[in-house]
Amino acid sequence: MEIKSIITLRHFEKDDPLMLYSPEDVSVLSMQMLNKIAELEIYVYDDDSFYDLDREITYGSNSYIIDRKPSTHRDLYVNAKDIIMIQEAHIDLDNH
């Protein structure tokens, strides 16, 4: 299981942007930004809430442990104008 993209999404005007984690490559997700409605494949927990990698990492000396992995991934449809940024990532969730 690997996170290949981190998507920053405008959630609500006054709220902080929402960080979503995806198993899809940046090139695939970037093409979605050209559409009015973007289809994003994102990691979720068992209850279908968005996976939060920052909450799941415990840092040690020169290493880190991922305490909980996402259960699965789901397709999320959003207004493409709400996508602030898509970043490339290579985070292997199985080897930490």
Low-confidence residues of the chain: pLDDT under 50: none
The Cα–Cα gap between 4 and 21 comes to: 8
The Cα–Cα gap between 95 and 65 comes to: 9
Q: Could you tell me if 76 and 50 are in contact, meaning their C-beta atoms sit under 8 angstroms apart? A: no
pTM score, whole prediction: 0.85
Amino acid 95: pLDDT: 72
* Coil/strand/helix, residue 81: helix
Amino acid 96: pLDDT: 58
The Cα–Cα gap between 26 and 30 comes to: 6
Under DSSP, the state recorded for 50 is B
Amino acid 6: pLDDT: 94
